[in-house]
Amino acid sequence: DAGVTQSPTHLIKTRGQHVTLRCSPISGHKSVSWYQQVLGQGPQFIFQYYEKEERGRGNFPDRFSARQFPNYSSELNVNALLLGDSALYLCASIPDRGIFTDTQYFGPGTRLTVL
Amino acid sequence: AQSVSQHNHHVILSEAASLELGCNYSYGGTVNLFWYVQYPGQHLQLLLKYFSGDPLVKGIKGFEAEFIKSKFSFNLRKPSVQWSDTAEYFCAVNAIGSARQLTFGSGTQLTVLP
């Protein structure tokens, strides 16, 4: 079984640019979450999507947006990039069986560097 | 809102030493608790999880953790570490009603010397 896949692996952008990160969850999983992991810190929750609907949002500015597609894959978009957006962006795949005991399975992440 | 504290930022042990990593959370309601591990160059992997029942949970690779509700703690333990346990360890909390949002601690870097 394929795990969570994310693309691209690495990305270098300059300040003010826009970036789109992609995630494909594990087959059969209906929900994805996005996290930002700055060097030296734990991951921070950005968004969660289920059945194309936003279910939760963390404390991130409106420059961050996301969407989920009918095949449950997801995109994270960040506009007007700042140096502080440099981080590892993680996607988590959730079975979402309607119970809170679901485990989140993480992908390898996309390393974004903003110059 | 919930928060998680991991007090040990970097722990260095020799092989065969015992390990205990501290994790405390702040939230007054029901929580699910997790320990994730990130080996060098690899993605976050689940070590173990607590949802309910026996507060002593066993995970992969000989790790275990104990949930002490009165202390809001979920410490990770291993009786004898190996060089291959060198990694970063993250404690995480999912508060019921938080849309499955995981709140992570800042992580503990474990270095095991051969």
- Low-confidence residues of chain A, pLDDT below 70? 1, 97-101
| pLDDT confidence of residue A97 | 63
Judge contact between B35 and B98, C-beta under 8 A: no
Cβ–Cβ of A43/B104 closer than 8 Å? yes
List CB contacts (< 8 A) between A44 and chain B.
104
List CB contacts (< 8 A) between A96 and chain B.
100
| pLDDT confidence of residue B98 | 64
Report the mean per-residue pLDDT for chain A.
Answer: 92
| pLDDT confidence of residue B28 | 78
Q: Residue range B78-106: average pLDDT?
A: 90
Identify from B27, B96, B101, B109 which residue to disrupt to test chain A contact, counting A C-beta atoms within 10 A and taking the largest count.
Answer: B101
| pLDDT confidence of residue B35 | 97
Among chain B residues, CA nearest to A6: B43
Neighbouring C-alpha atoms within 13 Å toward the C-beta of B90: 22
Among chain B residues, CA nearest to A56: B99
The DSSP bridge pattern shows strands A19-24 and A5-7 to be antiparallel
List CB contacts (< 8 A) between B103 and chain A.
45
| pLDDT confidence of residue B100 | 74
From CA B101, how far away is CA B57, in angstroms rounded? Answer: 22
From CA A45, how far away is CA A85, in angstroms rounded? Answer: 14
pLDDT confidence bin for B41, thresholds 50/70/90: confident
pLDDT higher than threshold 90 for residue B80: yes
- Give the dihedral sign, CA B36/B38/B44/B47: negative
Q: Does A33 touch chain B (CB under 8 A)?
A: yes
Tokens representing B6 are 């991991």
Q: Residue range B58-72: average pLDDT?
A: 95
**Closest approach of B106 to chain A, Cα-based (Å):** 4
DSSP class per residue in A73-96: -EEEEE-S--GGG-EEEEEEEE--
pLDDT higher than threshold 80 for residue B8: yes
| pLDDT confidence of residue B31 | 87
